[in-house]
Structure 1
């Protein structure tokens, strides 16, 4: 035997099993014999599973293998990606080299490559057609011993969706290639682009930004939301202020399988548009709104100063919309409402159905049976046409917000909103060192965060007697899937709608406990073991709001393990947990983070103004976890069997980027990405993509 490549296969694998992944790849350059041995798929694939069991490539391959047996388990965009993966013959040798390079750079806090994307300048600065007028943050900042630091950051002009791996941003005209420039010439106002960071494919969003002020942009679950205001005021609010009409435009960002599509991989289609506020909002730094959305629902909270002479509390209201039904009607193009679909509310519907309530006495109220209804009721448009488009399913004003303990008044603590398939989450935060107009008059001991969840979204109930497909949507979308000739009797309608949304509210609170003994947060990496329902210290009733692993399709393919909490891993932070990761290293404050839970990669940005060096050079950190303790961020070692058991050192060591990376990524206080890259914004207003 001249070298190890002549060993039997099992012995050869046992030898190279001890090599670090980087050395394994470097061995390929020794000789042709070694190149053939170290690029063999029989060796590369087992070593990939051993060294990087949670990498994206292995998760995609495993999910693609299960696609024929359970195609309905995946969302549309992920199913299209899996079809591409299933139709390819993966080269596990090159995949191992790519993944080994990625984690080598991750473990050292160094990017393999850095890309810069130029943003379209705002009209307020350079006179361009694009204008971004972001919603003002709370007037709160941190102050201690004559030192100040940011507590809130403005909304970014771009957004990244980890679920789809695409970036939406306003591209500068000179930064696109010739093909995209020709398309931009035909649609000069279409500034926003969808960029697939993996393939470099770019799609123009068919949204004209001319004569508009963009207030916020967000992409989640394949739905792009653009909140905007008209450039010209609509009416006079008082002697000093004017009101601009505000709207929300939703687009479906759809991925097409490469094996079936001959043109673009991604397509952007208009879903619907609706008026954000019935009167409009002034463009100032006093009127604020917060929002969140899923693929089917949208929630918005308004906070407006009371302009009365008596200095009353601010005006607060919250609305939840069902946006699952598409509509071509655009209220922004119809100021007088003349083009609105003229479909009157169906007279035989009891009022409770329009409020998300189930009326079992619907037949008695109308006093007609099915046969009489068919013969006496004239033929008309289906209920699907009547309820097409966005519909409000829940409104809450002062009284309701006060009942749930969510009224903010003059010292707001609201950090953000979140939604899932049934519940609304309100995340609040307060800091002892907070100062400014909106700071609390009774600050907490150190740092306090809280998450309150309210069941607000009704769930439809399937009827076994129904002969038409029932939509998996909310109570207001009663007729989606009902044909033009369907019998819309009260009995049939009552079988579609579930009753009022009931259930206990969920409250989770967490506070840093920093003192002279340096005691920090009681929770680890955003998890909590002491969250309790508001009423009692016991588990919520079965079927109600509770901290369990979500089985929703949204989390694909980032949910690992089975469906039970004992052997599954939550793919994202459940918004019902209080965001105690904000003070996990008190007195440092975690400004923002990027977490890829399935891969075990977390990038955080923290600052502390007590130390002057950190106030200038703030260091993001990278933590790579093993599959032993993915959810709680533990650092204990794991044991696997590959021949003889061997302890594997945990990849949870925290390393630091270089000091200048703060100005390259965290200039706007927001980062995103996954295990392949981190996306941020630099001090010159450019998007930075750090690839690993």
Structure 2
């Protein structure tokens, strides 16, 4: 025997199983025998499974194989873009596993070293309103809060970026500088970072102020305002009509198309373009939620005006209210003279209200046309927000909104060192985050427990509920009665050195205490409470699920389960996981177990990679102490820091995106930085 390649196959596999992946790749250049052995397809696939069982390439191959054997019902339930990608994987010639292993080994080597193999810069369109630029991004102002300690200050809020990235689809939407002079005003482009395919979004940015752009669940959303004011608010301010335009980002093999879905008016009267009136929003493929906070312009310095609404955006519609100022073309039901005009902030009325049609002559329209397009399904004003404990008043705590299929989640945050106009008058002991979940669709029938639910946690409900109290009551005029989810987390200890006891790992699991976590989350919007026992049973903790393949959508026999993501109902305790550092932003590839965090503590800034190794059990007849020791060793996460200059290259807007293949951010010169691993 001259070398290890002449050993029996099983012995050869045992030896190379101890070699690091980069060494396995370098062994290909030793000789022809070694090259043939280490590029063998079966051996390369084994090395890939041994070293990188959660890599994207293996997840795609596993999911594609599951798709071939899935029932038609399961295949239909998959997101369209994912199903198209899996079908493309099954139809196109597969890349040899030897080449795949080399690429993945290089990727994870770079991740382990916190370095990139390539850095790409994308120039964005310039926003110069004074010189008549065709592109105008007028972002929503963040809260006037910052951190102050011993005469040192640091950012607590960052402005919204002009771009967005969808990890589910692997596409980036941004205003391309090369398209700024486009004759049709199509400045925004969608880029597939994997294939390099780029296409324009059929959205004319001329005569518009873009307030926010977001891409999620295959739905591209633009919140924008007209360039010209709509009416005079007072002697000093004018308001602009605001709209939301939705597009579907559709994958076809390695190409993308952007198709108009619908458009609706964001606010009935409009909003001023200033740094005082603010709104926060979130959306899925089915729902859109928005919260408004506006200073009260009365002479008596009343509390700010607060409104919250949820829209059903699942139905497409060709109607564009921005092109129909009088509302003559709006589809609607036949209306009789006795029908009053619509009420509410989003549909009217006002002193300027004028019916779009003659009420004496009913307008006919089909049921499909009348119900098509976005529809408001939930509205909340002062009283409802007070009921849920979400009224912000003059010292707002709101950080963001989140949605799932049935519920709306409001994330709030307070900090001991917060200062500024909107800082709290009674700050927490150190750092506090809170998430409140409320149903999107109201539950028929009232629940006397609901006023207490708004201020109690799940544990309090389970311990303090009494079986003698009635649950069902008649429908009342006021806040919707029903279960409310509330999760709260704060850093524990003193201000010298403080760590969160409940830090979520890359899979979103709470390692310190899972007894108070409900998983799956309670079906708040679909729960039909028939008795108090049912209510308590619905809130009883259940263990979290696990994904066998690590793909966010797991193909089972007849069901599709959404896994490998952090449930929005959990309070974002990762914000204070390493107090006094504040986690500004994070990029988490839940399926791959890769997490990159950006943390700062005033002048100290760090950008780190966290990699969770795969858990492997090499035997079944070991002692419990040995199993526990191996498990603790495997759960330890590796952390390595990027060079210091990477903060300025990626954290210009305080947010980072990406997955295991790349990291995306914005530098100080308003350019998008893409680090490829």
Structure 1 residues 332, 548: CA separation in 2 closer, same or farther (over 3 Å shift)?
farther
Please name the residue that 1:451 is paired with: 435
Contact 2:401 2:409 in 1 (8 A): yes
Please give the per-residue CA displacement for 1:636-681, whole angstroms capped at 9, x wherever unaligned. xx43469x99978667211000000000011110100001000000
User: Per-residue deviation at 1:4?
Assistant: 1.3
Q: Which moved more, 1:520-529 or 1:403-412?
A: 520-529
TM-score normalized by the length of structure 1: 0.80
Please give the per-residue CA displacement for 1:507-544, whole angstroms capped at 9, x wherever unaligned. 00111123167342120226553647999x99964556
Tell me which of 392, 412, 418 is aligned to 1:428. Answer: 412
Tell me which of 462, 473, 486 is aligned to 1:507. Answer: 486
Determine if the alignment matches structure 1 residue 23 to structure 2 residue 23.
yes
Residues of 2 paired with 1:51 and 1:551: CA distance? 20
Structure 1 residues 145, 35: CA separation in 2 closer, same or farther (over 3 Å shift)?
same
Residues of 1 paired with 2:227 and 2:567: CA distance? 38
Please name the residue that 1:326 is paired with: 316
Please name the residue that 2:574 is paired with: 581
Structure 1 residues 576, 133: CA separation in 2 closer, same or farther (over 3 Å shift)?
same
Contact 1:275 1:331 in 2 (8 A): yes
Determine if the alignment matches structure 1 residue 312 to structure 2 residue 302.
yes
Q: Unaligned stretches of 5+ in structure 2?
A: 340-361, 445-478, 525-531
Contact 1:547 1:576 in 2 (8 A): no
Determine if the alignment matches structure 1 residue 437 to structure 2 residue 416.
no
Residues of 2 paired with 1:560 and 1:515: CA distance? 43
Please name the residue that 2:279 is paired with: 289
Structure 1 residues 208, 278: CA separation in 2 closer, same or farther (over 3 Å shift)?
same
Residues of 2 paired with 1:439 and 1:33: CA distance? 68
Residues of 1 paired with 2:675 and 2:282: CA distance? 27
Calculate the aligned-residue CA RMSD, in Å: 3.3
User: Per-residue deviation at 1:72?
Assistant: 2.3
User: Per-residue deviation at 1:571?
Assistant: 1.5
Please give the per-residue CA displacement for 1:273-308, whole angstroms capped at 9, x wherever unaligned. 000000000000000000000001100000000000
Residues of 2 paired with 1:545 and 1:390: CA distance? 35
Please name the residue that 2:84 is paired with: 80
Contact 1:677 1:689 in 2 (8 A): yes
Residues of 1 paired with 2:486 and 2:436: CA distance? 5
Contact 2:443 2:482 in 1 (8 A): no
Please give the per-residue CA displacement for 1:465-490, whole angstroms capped at 9, x wherever unaligned. xxxxxxxxxxxxxxxxxxxxxxxxxx
User: Per-residue deviation at 1:503?
Assistant: 3.7
Question: Residues 87-102 of structure 1 correspond to what in structure 2 (within 5 A)?
Answer: 87-88=91-92, 89-102=94-107
Structure 1 residues 315, 546: CA separation in 2 closer, same or farther (over 3 Å shift)?
farther
Residues of 2 paired with 1:548 and 1:383: CA distance? 44
TM-score normalized by the length of structure 2: 0.81
Please name the residue that 1:55 is paired with: 55
User: Per-residue deviation at 1:195?
Assistant: 0.3
Q: Which moved more, 1:209-218 or 1:185-194?
A: 185-194
Contact 1:531 1:577 in 2 (8 A): no
Contact 2:443 2:481 in 1 (8 A): no
Please name the residue that 1:639 is paired with: 617
Contact 1:506 1:532 in 2 (8 A): no
Please name the residue that 1:602 is paired with: 595
Residues of 1 paired with 2:533 and 2:654: CA distance? 38
Question: Residues 413-492 of structure 1 correspond to what in structure 2 (within 5 A)?
Answer: 413-457=397-441
Please name the residue that 2:657 is paired with: 672
Contact 2:649 2:667 in 1 (8 A): yes
Residues of 2 paired with 1:251 and 1:307: CA distance? 36
Contact 1:592 1:671 in 2 (8 A): yes
Please name the residue that 1:658 is paired with: 643
Please name the residue that 1:123 is paired with: 128
Secondary structure (helix, strand or coil) at the match of 2:390 reads coil
Residues of 1 paired with 2:366 and 2:443: CA distance? 22
Please give the per-residue CA displacement for 1:43-102, whole angstroms capped at 9, x wherever unaligned. 010110110000011111110001131412421000000011111323111110011000
Q: How many residues align?
A: 589
Residues of 2 paired with 1:686 and 1:125: CA distance? 21
Please name the residue that 1:278 is paired with: 268
Structure 1 residues 148, 420: CA separation in 2 closer, same or farther (over 3 Å shift)?
same
User: Per-residue deviation at 1:580?
Assistant: 0.6
Question: Residues 179-578 of structure 1 correspond to what in structure 2 (within 5 A)?
Answer: 187-257=183-253, 265-344=255-334, 382-457=366-441, 503-515=482-494, 518-525=497-504, 527-528=509-510, 529=513, 531=516, 541-542=536-537, 557-558=551-552, 570-578=563-571
User: Per-residue deviation at 1:569?
Assistant: 9.5
